[in-house]
Amino acid sequence: MESDESYIDNLIPAGMTASTKKDNDGIVQPGLTITKDSPTVSINLDNTIVSQRLTPSSSSSDVLEEGSSFMGSMHMNPRQFSTDNGMNIITNDITGENENDIDDQSDLVDQLAQSLYSYAATTRNYPKPIISNEVPNVFQETQDSDELNKQDKNFFILSSAGKPIFSMNGEDNQITSYMGIIHTIVNYFQLNNPNNEIKTIILPPKNQKFVFLNKNPIVLMVTSTRGESVNELASQLDFLYSYILSSLSERQLSRLFGKRSNTDLRNFLEVTDFENLDRLCQVITYEFYPELILNSLQCMMVSKTLRNKLHEIMSTQLVKESKFLPRGTLLYGMIVSASLNRLISLIRPKGHSLHTTDLQLLFSLIQNQFSNMNENQELWVPICFPKFNANGFLYSYIKFLPCKNYEHNKNVLILISGQKDSFFKLKLFADKLWNKIVDENLKSKIFDIGQGYKVTDVPAPLVHHFIYKAKKYVQFTMPDLEYHQSEEDSDGNPSFQNAKFEYAKKLRTYYQQLHDCITSEGGRQLNKSILNFIRWELKSNVGATASFQKEDVNLMGLVWVTKNFELYLICNNGITDKNIIFKSARKIVSWCKKNESKLFIQDGAVF
Amino acid sequence: MLQFKLVLLGDSSVGKSSIVNRFVKDSFEDLRESTIGAAFLSQTIKLNDNGKEVIVKFEIWDTAGQERYKSLAPMYYRNANAALVVYDITELDSLNKAKTWVEELKNKVGDDNIVIYLVGNKLDVCEKDSSKRLVSLEGAKEYAKEQGLLFIETSAKTGANIKETFQEIGEKLYDIKKTEVNTDLDGNTGEIEISKPSTNDTTSCCS
Ligand SMILES: Nc1nc2c(ncn2[C@@H]2O[C@H](COP(=O)(O)OP(=O)(O)OP(=O)(O)O)[C@@H](O)[C@H]2O)c(=O)[nH]1
Ligand SMILES: [Mg+2]
């Protein structure tokens, strides 16, 4: 086991940082002026990403259409702006303000904050606020006639010999030719420059990126015009590769290809593998899944007393059962909200940790694979945790705990062991643990877990949404996403899912850009402490054909990084006063610190 | 309480989990995820021993049919009192797979130690449309007889023969247990006192 101070270790996969660094050659260098040599300097820059004037001709489309448009010629990486398509980029105004300078705000600012239109204020008056996906979208979509090209993103997995293994979109016959091309490109670079593998290709007109991950005997490639950074795409590839390892293990993979390099891996992957790969691609492409770029996990908000009590029970039970459960049998244990992918509590050996990627894989496996499981069943599942040991399997005892509203929320107890025949030992432990939980009257409390919090619960006005990552714990927290159903719903159409995806799309892109502006090409954070503002602007014109006037987009985001935390936040539209925003940011930080024991698992039950 | 260990074996998607789900929860789902690893469940049934009610607890391993998990199977059948080897009567290949399971059980466990039940599932499909049947009733019956297996055709979807099958297994194992105890007690045919601690230890019960 890797030992690390933090129980969930946050190392960027070995080889990834080094390799992504190599790809710098072909990539536009950062356009932001950021002082890299003085690591403690805070930077305050107002970087407007999009400033666009809608032409009257396009204004006939309604707001929803506008909101649904997403990608296209717009270059979302702030370092790679171009000014085609009527887009103006207003560049940085670096004020060089120190974070402390904004420490104390005048009363005037306070008053101003009160008087401004605020989400927080509106909710006081209306029981059901119409908010959240009111945050406008500035990202545009283009259409392409070719079915496959219509997809703005695709993942390909093939063997090093060029045999197709998996692709997210496309029919087999289409894919085969793509795979051939990928194979040729990878080989070409390998032959001509054996020490410097192909990593990235960027095609300027649509800013289409092709990112490669060569993990002989398999090769992964992603192509996207959605504007993710190369780093982000590379980490997505690593995630898919990690999934394949979790299913097969590296040893088995190389054994399969050891015999014949032209092995067709599809014969060795099960239906569930393809389903899971599909699902992972969906999640990282269409859903809001900040776990990957943040390289951390989300925790369930649970009262301090309940969490402590659970950990106490786990610890004492472990000592009590040591006769049945010899040391070393249990490697790692946790209670997880399976529907939300969030940790509730944790049992871990002292000084040991599981990698976030491994846990993310485990959580998504549980979420995807066991949707019709119930509390009658207990599972025993061999899983390879690639970041823990890519060559071996661990065994997971998985038990669904009784809970309210089973359809929407499932809490799961997971106990992990290295011994394949230890099921009944772990089961005994789990049964005793559960009995204890029932004895202590905690059953109904666990039963009820499933509530997050809303952005309005946080006393930070004018903020639409935020993500706060506590670096020490390698965990992050954020308010629930709130999206209301769109108009079509009155017809009974299930557009809830659409509303959710639309909203996820917007948030994802805003956060991507915020995250991007603090990250170097090599995937490292640019500075030890950073304070950045980004502004997105979109001016609408009342055209002759417009049925109503659109709201101008004037959206500010903030990213604030210190030694202890990372804060990403998106303001309500129209809030552009940096002082006010920063004041709210500080309120969020102090709220998160105050509620640390509720929002994060600080230690877990250590044995 | 008397406990018996059951294991379900058979090719992927023949309906093992559906059979167990029908037995334990009396429900059926058209969309069911393929099992990964193995699922452990328990369910009690009542037997009638000359007017006396006997409660028997089944501990069931519903294994994964996917090829990948094949090497783990011995862990689940090693201590089993009975095995349900399931095939799909609309899939010829699944019977061949079932036959290899029967062989493996006989080689590794021995018939004396395990009751093997050959189960042809998805009967409802063929009742609707007889052309869907690819494994004949007679052929499978013949094979079962040759091998000395119990045999039945079931439908997890309609529930046909599911409860009955488990009931029969319970009775059969109970009878075996009874004779064992009786011979142990040197022909004493009096009341059988079976009081096993209800632990989930692998070594508990009739193994
Ligand atoms: N019509 C019909 N369909 C069935 C029956 N039993 C199972 N199915 C369907 O067959 C599919 C596979 O059933 P499962 O119970 O998951 O099969 P399994 O043997 O557990 O498969 P693995 O877990 O992969 O080993 C599911 O879609 C079931 O709905 C049946 O009796 N009749
Ligand atoms: Mg199954």
Ligand nearest to the CA of B13: 1
| Total domains present in chain B | 1
A604 or B86, which is more confident: B86
Residue A72: per-residue pLDDT: 28
Q: Which of residues 80-109 of B touch A (CB under 8 A)?
A: none
B191 lies in a domain?
Answer: no
CATH no., domain A302-450: 3.30.450.30
pLDDT in tens, A97-106: 333 333 344 4
> How far away is chain A from the Cα of B64, in angstroms, using its nearest Cα?
10
B199 lies in a domain?
Answer: no
Q: Does A374 touch chain B (CB under 8 A)?
A: yes
Q: Are A398 and A412 in contact (CB under 8 A)?
A: yes
Q: How far apart are CA B135 and CA B133, in angstroms?
A: 6
Q: For helices A271-286 and A230-248, what crossing angle results, to 10°?
A: 160
Q: Are A131 and A570 in contact (CB under 8 A)?
A: no
B200 lies in a domain?
Answer: no
A546 or A220, which is more confident: A220
Q: Does B66 touch chain A (CB under 8 A)?
A: yes
Nearest ligand 1 atom to the CA of B121 is: 31
DSSP A7-74: SEE-PPPTTHHHHHHHGGGGSPPP-S----SSTT----EEEEEEEEE--GGGGGS-HHHHHH---SS-
Confidence grade of residue A497 (pLDDT, cut at 50, 70, 90)? low
> Per-residue pLDDT for B191 more than 60?
no
User: Which residues of chain A neighbour B65 with C-beta distances below 8 Å?
Assistant: none
Q: How far apart are CA B115 and CA B173, in angstroms?
A: 8
> How far away is chain A from the Cα of B16, in angstroms, using its nearest Cα?
14
**B66 to A272: CB separation less than 8 angstroms, yes or no:** yes
Which residue puts its alpha carbon closest to atom 29 of ligand 1?
Answer: B30
Residue among B33, B198, B199, B207 with most chain A CBs within 10 A, to mutate: B33
pLDDT in tens, A383-416: 999 999 999 999 999 998 876 655 566 789 999 9
B156 lies in a domain?
Answer: yes
Q: What is the CATH number of the domain that holds B71?
A: 3.40.50.300
Q: Which residues of A309-328 are buried (b: 16+ CB within 10 A; e: fewer)?
A: bbbebbeebbeebeeebeee
Residue A3's SS3 state is strand
Lowest-confidence segment of A75-79, A144-148, A543-547 by average pLDDT: A75-79
Query: Which of B12, B25, B200 is opposite residue A424, by nearest beta carbon?
Result: B200
Residue A18: per-residue pLDDT: 30
Q: Are A517 and A78 in contact (CB under 8 A)?
A: yes
Confidence grade of residue A500 (pLDDT, cut at 50, 70, 90)? confident
Residue A126: per-residue pLDDT: 36
Q: Residues for chain A: how many in total?
A: 607
Average pLDDT value for residue range A123-149: 47
> Per-residue pLDDT for A570 more than 80?
yes
**A379 to B39: CB separation less than 8 angstroms, yes or no:** yes
pLDDT in tens, B125-179: 999 999 999 999 999 999 999 999 999 999 999 999 999 999 999 999 999 888 8
Q: How far apart are CA A368 and CA A570, in angstroms?
A: 30
Rounded to 5°, angle at Cα A180 from A176 and A184:
170
Q: Does B31 touch chain A (CB under 8 A)?
A: yes
- From residue B134, alpha-carbon distances to B120, B121, B149, B150 in Å are 11, 12, 21, 20
Q: How far apart are CA A185 and CA A193, in angstroms?
A: 12
Query: Which of A381, A427, A431 is opposite residue B36, by nearest beta carbon?
Result: A381
Nearest ligand 1 atom to the CA of B8 is: 19
Quick one: which H or E segment has residue B94? Answer: helix B92-108
pLDDT in tens, A522-542: 777 777 788 888 888 877 655
Q: How far apart are CA A188 and CA A185, in angstroms?
A: 5
> Per-residue pLDDT for A297 more than 50?
yes
Q: How far apart are CA A479 and CA A176, in angstroms?
A: 43
Q: Does B201 touch chain A (CB under 8 A)?
A: yes
Residue A361's SS3 state is helix
Query: Which of B32, B69, B201 is opposite residue A424, by nearest beta carbon?
Result: B201
Residue A382: per-residue pLDDT: 95
Residue A494: per-residue pLDDT: 55
Burial category of B129 from C-beta neighbours within 10 Å (exposed 0-12, middle 13-18, buried 19 and up): exposed
pLDDT in tens, A29-69: 332 222 233 222 333 444 454 444 333 333 333 322 333 22
Neighbours of A301 (CB within 10 A): 21
Tokens of A426: 């772990």
> How far away is chain A from the Cα of B106, in angstroms, using its nearest Cα?
22
DSSP A131-182: -GGGS---------SSHHHH-SEEEEEEETTS-EEEESSS-HHHHHHHHHHH
Q: Does B30 touch chain A (CB under 8 A)?
A: no
User: Which residues of chain A neighbour B37 with C-beta distances below 8 Å?
Assistant: 379-382, 395-396
Nearest ligand 1 atom to the CA of B29 is: 29
Which residues lie below 8 Å from residue B66, measured CB to CB, with a gap of 6+?
A: A270, A271, A272, B12, B34, B35, B36
Q: Are A431 and A445 in contact (CB under 8 A)?
A: no
Which residue puts its alpha carbon closest to atom 2 of ligand 1?
Answer: B122
Domain ranges of chain A: 6-60+452-599, 302-450
Number of residue pairs across A and B with CB atoms under 8 Å?
66
Which residues lie below 8 Å from residue A453, measured CB to CB, with a gap of 6+?
A: A301, A479, A480
Probe target for ligand 1 pocket from B9, B17, B85, with the most ligand atoms within 8 Å of CB = B17
State the residue range of the domain holding B177. Answer: 2-29+37-186
Average pLDDT value for residue range B12-40: 93
Q: How far apart are CA A345 and CA A307, in angstroms?
A: 7
Which residues lie below 8 Å from residue A220, measured CB to CB, with a gap of 6+?
A: A155, A156, A157, A212, A213, A237, A240, A241
Quote the strand ranges of B50-159, DSSP E.
52-63, 82-88, 115-121, 150-153
Which residues lie below 8 Å from residue A478, measured CB to CB, with a gap of 6+?
A: A290, A298, A465, A466, A467, A468
- From residue A209, alpha-carbon distances to A24, A195, A239 in Å are 13, 22, 18
> How far away is chain B from the Cα of A329, in angstroms, using its nearest Cα?
15
- From residue A100, alpha-carbon distances to A79, A112, A387, A467, A568 in Å are 27, 21, 39, 21, 18
Query: Which of A376, A381, A428 is opposite residue B37, by nearest beta carbon?
Result: A381
Probe target for ligand 1 pocket from B32, B101, B132, B133, with the most ligand atoms within 8 Å of CB = B32
User: Which residues of chain B neighbour A268 with C-beta distances below 8 Å?
Assistant: 68
Write the Ramachandran bin of A400: left for phi over 0, alpha for psi from -120 to 50, otherwise beta: beta
What's the distance, CA B38 to chain centroid?
A: 15
Q: Which of A326, A264, A231 is nearest to A525 (CA)?
A: A231
Residue A25: per-residue pLDDT: 34
> Per-residue pLDDT for A228 more than 70?
yes
Residue A77: per-residue pLDDT: 35
> How far away is chain A from the Cα of B39, in angstroms, using its nearest Cα?
4
- From residue A108, alpha-carbon distances to A164, A238, A294, A307 in Å are 63, 49, 36, 41
B19 lies in a domain?
Answer: yes
Q: Which residue of A has its CA nearest to B37?
A: A381
- From residue A318, alpha-carbon distances to A277, A416, A437, A503, B34 in Å are 36, 14, 14, 44, 33
* Phi, psi angle pair for B189, to nearest 5°: -100, 10
Decide: B129 in ligand 1 pocket, CB within 6 A. no
Q: Which residue of B has its CA nearest to A378?
A: B40
> How far away is chain B from the Cα of A395, in angstroms, using its nearest Cα?
9
Q: Does B70 touch chain A (CB under 8 A)?
A: no
Q: Which residue of B has its CA nearest to A398?
A: B39
